[in-house]
A and B are shown apart, each in its own frame.
Chain A
């Protein structure tokens, strides 16, 4: 049972345009959400996060939106650059327990075309 779903395995976007990566979750206990970026042959690196008390968090070209009622979050990259080409993992956590555990999605491979 996949609790964090990224239904688009891949996405292609022209350089300079907006990239929108989507993520859905099923566990209503999740209250903290993260996006990681992964280049080939490297480990994931943390990109941006959002707490469930917010509906938006922005960091430079990256903005994450959270819609709790729909159990949906999205990552917007504006403007997209060729260096953004990577696999993006959505992750979610329930911080209320004694052990914080992160559940990852399957990833979306973004290709930014010059």
Chain B
């Protein structure tokens, strides 16, 4: 069982609000990721991190920002939510030291609805 947690699971919020989606893992993984997925679509990488103080943008342009101050914590922030941000956000982590660094552990996801 993966030890990676996302909160909240569901969030409905008004346009213009600032939100932070939390992601924590207890596995000590250096690599962490944020994916965005719309129904029936593929997972798109929006942010990733190699470790503490490392953050990079993924393939899909996103207005969100991330931070990595601690190994176990990788929060995602939207400064001003818009209806176009409505989606499911999935956090994941992986452990390169196993040699199988593309097998990721996913959290349960946050389903965000901006009204």
| Chain B 92-107 residues near chain A, CB threshold 8 A | 92, 96, 100-107
Asked if B106 contacts A100 (CB within 8 A), the reply is no
**A66 CA to B96 CA in the complex, in Å?**
24
| Chain B 58-115 residues near chain A, CB threshold 8 A | 59, 90-92, 96, 100-109
**A95 CA to B103 CA in the complex, in Å?**
12
| Chain A 80-114 residues near chain B, CB threshold 8 A | 89, 91, 93, 95, 99-107
Task: Report how many A-B pairs have Cβ atoms within 8 Å.
Answer: 59
Residue of A nearest to B100 (CB): A49
- The yes or no answer to A2 lying at the interface (CB within 8 A) is yes
Asked if A9 contacts B40 (CB within 8 A), the reply is yes
Interface size range of chain A in the complex? 20 to 34
**A44 CA to B107 CA in the complex, in Å?**
8
- The yes or no answer to B2 lying at the interface (CB within 8 A) is yes
Known: A104-B42, A107-B40. A43 touches B102 (CB 8 A): no
**A95 CA to B94 CA in the complex, in Å?**
14
| B25 CB, min distance to chain A CBs, angstroms | 12
- The yes or no answer to B41 lying at the interface (CB within 8 A) is yes
Asked if A34 contacts B103 (CB within 8 A), the reply is yes
| A90 CB, min distance to chain B CBs, angstroms | 10
**A82 CA to B43 CA in the complex, in Å?**
25
- The yes or no answer to A42 lying at the interface (CB within 8 A) is yes
Contacts of A93 in B (CB 8 A): 102
- The yes or no answer to B46 lying at the interface (CB within 8 A) is no
